[in-house]
Structure 1
């Protein structure tokens, strides 16, 4: 190994070595916070995204209903496509409704 790598390894070992009281290095873990003057614009963009997905969800359910209605007579595969699309639309809407909670669960 070259000298630079050895110095880096020594520095990391020194940083991670237990202190006199036996504790290791405390790695900071601050709570997330928005940069100054950026929180509100980001909230607006997120709310626009949620609104857009909700509009798409309503359109998706209407399209699925239309496929099922049109495919009722002699086009059973078209109706089946509409019926199989309903769970996907509902799954997408459910994900939008719970997105913030899911992220909060992982990030804390």
Structure 2
């Protein structure tokens, strides 16, 4: 088994390697938007965030209605509404934080 491991190690050492990036080339350039997308992309992100917040508002209303209707003799419906409220608030948190968190991680 050790002969196989040594052979594999020798083969890996002989394999061609990729050229490492040189300082001062485009490898270390900050991310840039494609040509023509400077104005379009922020608009799309704004629309997506607007619709997501609208859906979140409707989701909270739906959860509230489920909790009100399920108050008497339908405790399962009320529990589903309360559980759904947590998911709606979690989704709204992700949508709201996305524009700030993603650029912080990527750059």
Aligned match of 1:69 = 68
1:48 aligned residue = 47
Unaligned runs of 5+ in 1: 1-7, 17-23
TM superposition shift of 1:29: 2.1
User: Could you tell me how far apart the structure 1 residues matched to 2:92 and 2:99 are?
Assistant: 13
Structure 2 partner of 1:105: 104
Q: Which residue of 1 is the match for residue 81 of structure 2?
A: 82
* Residue correspondences, number: 92
Give TM-score, length-normalised by structure 2. Answer: 0.76
Q: What displacement does 1:36 show?
A: 2.5
| Superposition CA RMSD, Å | 2.2
Which segments of structure 1 move beyond 3 Å, counting only runs of 4 or more?
24-27
User: Which structure has more RCO (C-alpha within 8 Å, separation ≥ 6)?
Assistant: 2
- Counterpart CA distance in 1 for 2:22 and 2:49 is 41
The verdict on how the C-alpha distance between 1:93 and 1:33 changes in structure 2, with shifts beyond 3 A counting, is same
